[in-house]
Amino acid sequence: MRDTKIFESVERELNRQRNNIELIASENFVSEQILELAGTVLTNKYAEGYPSKRYYGGCQFVDEVENIARDRLKELFGCEHANVQPHSGAQANTAVYLALLKTGDKVLGMSLADGGHLTHGHPLNYSGINYEFHSYGVRKDTETIDYDDYKKKVEEIKPKLVVAGASAYSRIIDFEFMAKVAHDNGALFMVDMAHIAGLVAAGLHPSPFPHADIVTTTTHKTLRGPRGGVIMCKEQFAADIDRAVFPGMQGGPLMHIIAAKAACFYEALQPEFKEYAKQIIKNTKALEKSLKEEGFRLVAGGTDNHLLLVDVKASCGISGKKAERLLDEINITANKNAIPFDTEKPFKASGIRVGTPAMTTKGFNEDDFREVGKIIAYRLKNEETDEVKEECLRRVKALTDKVTMYQDKTYLK
Ligand code: DSN
């Protein structure tokens, strides 16, 4: 019997994805073939273990899938070893810690408050609970990574592992320098490149390879694949990483998602992917210019990548929470975000984070993003009236009517 109730919710979400301007910097729209692969019969198959070393029979075809995914990922980033089984980025990071650290070991990661990630040592996360995490952050004057302070901390703390990477940072990260400092002080160096993986794949952000010992990423952000994680490492760490993922952290891998990851890596190896990644950066620069012209204060003065942090408190006297709601009401989806040295609690926050990958995939260009900046300004800088809301909704619709996504098939029948 068909579960109409749940399909109705999915249909509402499909329509939201079709009609909204999606600015969540960590989201994207996968291709139809990736959607199709994520819904295949591979979901039925248990395959604990690794290709040719499984704990179940009947794995010959899923072995083909996992081998293709691993080979393509190695080709894409030029890494020595790849594990495509982590169910998410958080699990990929946790598996790395399990592989390399003992409980209580010292680790240095970027503070969440300055743009890092929960799994980089937040006290409420497994990382911060199980290991002695210390944090580096950004300078107050430039809001960019304080590399001098980072070096000082590595030298003083002597961590066993350094974690680089961020989830709300709009500038280039100097992986080469950070790796050198870590290695000079006897630390291993890991990069979580989840946000920028697609830009790295396209050569538009300096690669963490060959400087990093281990690199993790999600596959669903700028890389534009299915929701999931992967780990890449030097050959010397391969056995420990594989053992930490299975049997250390996970049981059966999600073979349907691994098939979809393989297609994501295939797509990222095509020349068109580079054009998409270049357009992301052009679009973020257009949005930056538009927001600056409208008088917004941008954290770190602007962007080099796929996202911007907008200080809405300084720019319009409202919280990130309120800005998120006001934009939601005009079909623009973004998220409130703490900004460095924020005086508001994270659930209220002084900023919003906006990114261009998803709408770049849908076909938005620089002109469209200039208009997005103007609509955001019109909404956030005016009184909360029906007239303002209606005008914004009209302008959002004019933009979204120009692009289509998931229109050819219903996906629901
Ligand atoms: N939650 C992701 C983000 O939005 O950046 C990071 O994992």
- Each residue of 208-220: pLDDT tens digit? 999 999 999 999 9
Query: Do the strands 49-50 and 53-54 form a parallel or antiparallel pair, or are they unpaired?
Result: antiparallel
Contacts of residue 317, defined as CB under 8 A and 6 or more positions apart, other chains included, come to none
User: Terminal CA-to-CA distance of the chain, rounded, Å?
Assistant: 14
* Residue identifier of the C-alpha nearest atom 3 of ligand 1: 26
What separation in Å is there between the alpha carbon of 366 and the centre of ligand 1? 25
* Residue identifier of the C-alpha nearest atom 2 of ligand 1: 26
Q: Which of 23, 24, 26 to mutate to test the pocket of ligand 1 (most atoms within 8 A of CB)?
A: 26
The predicted pLDDT at position 331 comes to 98
What separation in Å is there between the alpha carbon of 74 and the centre of ligand 1? 24
What separation in Å is there between the alpha carbon of 79 and the centre of ligand 1? 24
Could you identify the atom of ligand 1 that is nearest to the CA of residue 27?
4
Could you identify the atom of ligand 1 that is nearest to the CA of residue 195?
5
The predicted pLDDT at position 22 comes to 98
What separation in Å is there between the alpha carbon of 352 and the centre of ligand 1? 13
What separation in Å is there between the alpha carbon of 302 and the centre of ligand 1? 20
* Residue identifier of the C-alpha nearest atom 6 of ligand 1: 167
Give the SS3 label for residue 47: coil
* Residue identifier of the C-alpha nearest atom 1 of ligand 1: 26
The predicted pLDDT at position 405 comes to 86
Contacts of residue 153, defined as CB under 8 A and 6 or more positions apart, other chains included, come to 108, 134, 136
The predicted pLDDT at position 413 comes to 53
* CA-to-CA separations, 106 to 58, 116, 382, in angstroms, rounded: 43, 17, 48
Could you identify the atom of ligand 1 that is nearest to the CA of residue 335?
4
Q: Which of 27, 216, 221 to mutate to test the pocket of ligand 1 (most atoms within 8 A of CB)?
A: 221
What separation in Å is there between the alpha carbon of 250 and the centre of ligand 1? 21
| Distance from C-alpha of 143 to C-alpha of 252, rounded to nearest angstrom | 42
pTM for the predicted model, two decimal places = 0.97
8 Å CB contact between 333 and 303:
no
Q: Identify any residues that bridge with 136 across adjacent strands, giving them in sequence order.
A: 110
Residues of the chain with pLDDT under 70: 409-413
Q: Identify any residues that bridge with 336 across adjacent strands, giving them in sequence order.
A: 352
Binding pocket residue ranges, ligand 1, CB within 6 Å: 26, 89, 117, 167
* Residue identifier of the C-alpha nearest atom 4 of ligand 1: 26
Active-site residues, by number, are 46, 48, 192, 218, 221, 227
Q: Identify any residues that bridge with 309 across adjacent strands, giving them in sequence order.
A: 353
The predicted pLDDT at position 410 comes to 60
Q: Which of 88, 117, 119 to mutate to test the pocket of ligand 1 (most atoms within 8 A of CB)?
A: 117
What separation in Å is there between the alpha carbon of 227 and the centre of ligand 1? 11
